[in-house]
Structure 1
């Protein structure tokens, strides 16, 4: 049983919570518009109109349209999130990455077109490309630090800074190729790619 006093009132929520919800709404709406119209035809004004916000509210959370676009990626493009068993070997961890990649493919499939148009847009926009690179660098740094925090007997066979970039290249590259030729990029191929990193001879 809970009393009314136990339930947080919306009026008591901190301003930071409202800001987070507003940002999440902006990103959600922008992602919808990008899927419908593409990046080139998605404007700040249209995002504000559909989100029920003023232009000022948009710019109070994002400096410009490119910053909104950079924030969309992690939300509309499902992320590969392997579940590592504590104490597992590097080979077992790579198998978990392969399984997580395979599991996310169906969800990524429905958003493949938007992903590809987004990448094409980034390639033609130097400012956005720089922003995306900065965010990727921060992600890599955090991921590499996690690998370095593991016990000595669980350390990867290569520097963590290299490993995290290679894992991202594999998961993203395999996904895009699977979208184009799913019959050729089978589950066995995906498992083989990550097994090779662990020095395990793949069996096809």
Structure 2
């Protein structure tokens, strides 16, 4: 598994339109519907980061992305898999030869973690959150592991409560998925999931300059 993380950047109108045209039509329409500029930037930059990584590591030029009934992106004719996530100032992507899921979440104080936790955590996870000295951080760590697993499976968030992630792996529909919590992103929770062992995977912090090919400004948050 190869993981890249990049800080969100600002684009001028020409850069934005150029990158927008490269992503799937469905995501172009989604980006145009967002009310907030940064939501559009995250979508556009996330998919362009994925396209850049697929070309770099798999030699792919003509990349056709499709979406399953749960809205999960996949490559229909290639032996490669990818997953994208973005939150706050970070855009992250993982690529691999086996199914992969990735999720990053800013640890927002707005979320009612106790109410949401009752709907999404297993009994064991909720009890550990209740006893944790950092309940807020525990909740978001747990959420990210679950969402990464769901993305790896290509399913929807309705499965949240069915997935227990207190160990380094989880069994879902008689298949084992491996999980890893990524550390070092202050104020964020970050996790990856794969059908293969990922205990040694590392994150490369990469500037998005190689995606847009020209100078840019970082978005400060």
The answer to whether the superposition gives a TM-score over 0.5 is: no
The structure with more helix, counted as a fraction of residues: 1
The structure with more strand, counted as a fraction of residues: 2
Q: TM-score range by the shorter chain?
A: under 0.3
- TM-score, normalised on structure 1? 0.26
RCO comparison, higher one (Cα < 8 Å, 6+)? 2
**Bigger Rg over Cα:** 1
